[in-house]
Amino acid sequence: MTPRNLRKSALLGSALAFCAMGAAAETLRWASTTDPQTMDPHAVNSAPVLSFLNNIYEGLVRRGQDMSIEPSLAASWEPLEGENGWRFNLRQGVTFQDGAAFTAEDVMFSYQRASNEAADVRSWFAPVSDVRVVDDFTIDFVTTAPNPLFPDSIANFMILDKGWAESNDAALPARDAENFATMNVNGTGPFTLASRDPGVRTTLVPHDGWWDDAAHNVTEAVFTPIGNAATGLAALLSGEIDFIQPIPLQDVAQVEGRDGFKVLEGEETRVIMFGFGHEHDALLYSTDVTDANPFTDPRVRQAAAHAIDIASIDRVLFRGKIEAANQLVPAGISGYSEANENRPEYNPERARELLAEAGYPDGFSFGLKCPNDRYINDEALCRAAASMFAAVGLNAELSTGPVRDYWPQLREDDFDMYLLGWSPGTFDMEHPVRFLLHSQDDEKKLGSWNFGNYSNARVDELLPQIQQEIDPAARQAMIDEVVAITQEEVAYIPLYTQPLIWAAKDNIELTQRADNFFMLRWVTVN
């Protein structure tokens, strides 16, 4: 695997960027395993949706090829004077794809929409106490405390046209249903929607009125979801598509050995982990323990962690391309706790001892929920983990399915244990503390992806202090404490950092970012 110093560099953005100027206009055909669930940028907080829609919608800020924050619909921003928060000075002369003018009222509307209980992204705005429109091109976000990370935290906050949304009865997002915004778009970004057939084909074309300079030569981008990895690879090698993300690890050598094709490898900032139903009174899918939830005992969770043989998973499923994870962010991310780098060793005997200490000497059965089209080798990973769990007496009833059904199941608490991958949108450890470790709190917009509702009062207490602390050493000490607590309590079982494995024709020039977002504005078809 890549050495630590190289991994750190990769996490900051493994850009493979090329100049597109002067190239002839072309059609790009690309594929991925997962279709974006919706065209509504506030409905679902998941990478496939946010990545796709960042080609259509824009926020106040955006991430560049090296993952750094740069101006977008805000031309500049600065801290507020005399109070906590940020002033954003908006770009003038920008129009939405239907020709409507962009103003601060659209930002205010989008904030109200995205922070509503109906929005899956509302946790982004947990630090916000007030938003004020100063004038048509100035807007203030007031925070409850100093928040130096706030501009970074809203890089995926996309702006809708207020008039368009309201006139089409889409004033609120529809997460698990449909409205006009789930099938139609009106952003300010470089591409717009030409056609949409969910699960089959989505076609984008350039927005001719885009305010920025186009550095691509794509005249049409046709996206096709291909859930079966072998089918996707065959489509690439036969010339049906030009680019695919990801490809099976076992097929890397085959692609590299074919003339006219290339493989792009990196390391995503996403940690793959198992979560538990911490607040469940009883297991939902057990045949032998029906009146209790053994996973509420940290010894049982520790036993599950000791049952996982990451080295074997790496060797058999990932061809030596994964890095074992010991916390919810990988090394190289801001706030990574070097003081807590150890992970539970693979120790089946210790796992059995812990189960016996917890009152389950013969183990027990439970339900394990996993997607089969969201992460690299996700179903195979869960089958391997189920076998490892069974070896210590934890008998998993494995249930897998497409991600479009998976997220609603997790939101409805329909699991005993589940698989989750998380990439910190701010590239800082504060992000998973806010989303995954803080107790669920709808009023404060916290813990929105903490499906099992892990809860620790000290972790909850430390989050706002981490958000406002400016001294790096003091802030890191608080993060170290959070990581130590959650490791001891086994809030989750971190498994590994997901690799990035993309494949394309040699004539496709693009940028591979560490967040696994594919941005059309940097694509050249030669």
Q: Over the stretch 483-508, which tens digit does the pLDDT of each residue have? A: 999 999 999 999 999 999 999 999 99
CA distances from 483 to 60, 110, 149, 456, 459 (A): 31, 34, 19, 12, 9
Q: How far apart are CA 89 and CA 305, in angstroms?
A: 48
Instruction: Indicate the CATH number for domain 268-499.
Output: 3.10.105.10
pLDDT at 24: 54
The DSSP H or E segment spanning 194 is strand 191-197
Residue 1 has pLDDT above 60, yes or no: no
Question: In this predicted structure, which of 52-61, 183-192, 419-428 has the lowest mean pLDDT?
Answer: 419-428
Closest CA to 323 of 499, 512, 502, 500: 499
Q: In this structure, are residues 354 and 302 in contact, taking their beta carbons and an 8 Å threshold?
A: yes
Scanning 144-201, the segments in alpha helix (DSSP H) are 150-153, 162-167, 180-183
Q: What is the arithmetic mean of pLDDT over 206-223? A: 96
Residue 245 bridge partners (DSSP):
32
Q: Which helix (H) or strand (E) holds 142?
A: strand 138-143
Burial label, 259 (beta-carbon count in 10 A; 0-12, 13-18, 19+) = exposed
DSSP bridge pairs for 262: 504
- The whole-angstrom separation of Cα 257 and Cα 357 is 53
pLDDT on residue 110: 98
Residues in the chain: 526
What percent of the chain has a predicted confidence (pLDDT) above 90?
83
Tokens of 428: 């800082």
- The strand pairing partners of 216, in sequence order, are none
DSSP string, 491-516: SEEEEEEEEEEEEEETTEE----TT-
Phi, psi dihedral angles at 366 (to 5 degrees) = -160, 170
| Helix/strand/coil (H/E/C) assignment for every residue in 19-44 | CCCCCCCEEEEEEECCCCCCCCCCCC
Task: Compute the distance between CA of residue 293 and CA of residue 313 in angstroms, rounded to an integer.
Answer: 27
Whole-angstrom distance, CA of residue 398 vs CA of residue 228? 20
- 23 pLDDT more than 70: no
- Average pLDDT of the residues in 113-127: 91
Q: Mind listing the pLDDT tens digit for each residue in 514-524?
A: 999 999 999 99
pLDDT at 392: 98
Asked if residues 300 and 284 have their Cβ atoms less than 8 Å apart, the reply is no
Could you tell me how many helices (H) and strands (E) the chain has, helices first?
Answer: 16, 19
Domain ranges of the chain: 268-499
Amino acid identity for residue 244 in this structure = I
Residue 445, pLDDT score: 86
Output the pLDDT for position 227.
Answer: 84
pTM (predicted TM-score): 0.82
In angstroms, rounded to a whole number, what is the distance separating the alpha carbons of residues 261 and 266?
Answer: 17
State residue 104's pLDDT score.
Answer: 98
Mean pLDDT for the stretch of residues 68-88: 97
